[in-house]
Amino acid sequence: MPDHVHLLVRLGQNSNLSSVVRLFKGRLTPLLRRHKAAWQQSFYDHCLHPNEELLPVFLYIYLNPYRKELFSLDQVWPGYFCSSEDWGWVGPLTNECHPEPAWLR
């Protein structure tokens, strides 16, 4: 997305979300400053519960730029990254790395 980021991360047992976000933002702040950009004051987080399904969250993140018509369905979103472990379960759901048109409904 051109003005925000969506992340889906798995925290380690000794990690907490605010420290991970602080580290992430801290590492990127010098780059943002060079481009005269800055972080928003706050952020929205949502912690998934063990019984909560991962696929709807993944699809929301994956499809966001397609739903906003930043990319057409025949284009691969260049800003998307998924670990090979996670792509193992979600990759087969895609149409050769492209979203299925039915997903956008």
Q: What is the pLDDT of residues 60-90, one digit of tens each?
A: 888 888 888 888 888 888 888 888 888 888 7
| Integer Cα distance of 93 and 75 in angstroms | 16
State how far the Cα of 26 lies from the Cα of 49, in Å rounded to an integer: 27
Written as tens digits, the pLDDT of the chain (105 aa) is: 467 888 888 888 888 888 888 899 999 999 999 999 988 887 788 888 888 888 888 888 888 888 888 888 888 888 888 888 888 887 887 777 778 778 777
Q: What is the pTM of this model?
A: 0.72
* Residue 2: predicted pLDDT: 64
The token duo for 57 is: 């969250």
Give the three-state DSSP class for 86.
Answer: helix
